Amino acid sequence: MVTKGMVHLRNIMDFDKDQIEELKRISPQISIAEEGGYSYIFIQKLSLPQGCQPSEIDVLLCPTARDGYSSRLFFAEKVTGGRDGINWNLTIRVLARNWEAFSWRTDPGQRLAEMLMIHLSGLRKQ
């Protein structure tokens, strides 16, 4: 699905090509979007950790500081079946869709794929 405002890899130079290729090995359906002064990496049908429902979901990775976090991962819906006690603390509207995020911190300066995997680790059962 193409959302109004989606920029399909046109601004890919804003991100290191090697890092985008690493993300494509995790999930090949990637595009870049910008809205409200933030750049997002839109990842379609990302596979979630075992036990999560849904098992695949669209996500937006915001690799820059936002909302007091060094990066954010937004989900098309709240995920269930993973770690207990997830603090779903933010709902935003970006690219004409609602997105959900939980409180999870990453360190600044990480590669995009590493950042994504750290965010996903917040869903894994302990």
Averaged pLDDT of the chain = 89
Residue 14: what pLDDT?
Answer: 63
Is 27 within 8 Å of 48 (Cβ atoms)? no
pTM score above 0.85: yes
DSSP assignment of 94-107 = ETTEEEEEE-----
Domain ranges, ordered by start, for the chain: 6-121
Question: Confidence class of residue 58 from pLDDT cuts 50, 70 and 90?
Answer: very high
Q: Tell me, what DSSP letter sits at residue 50? A: T
Neighbours of 103 (CB within 10 A): 14
Q: For the chain, state the CA radius of gyration.
A: 14
Residue 1: what pLDDT?
Answer: 38
Neighbours of 28 (CB within 10 A): 10
What is the rounded distance in angstroms from the CA atom of residue 12 to the CA atom of residue 19? 10
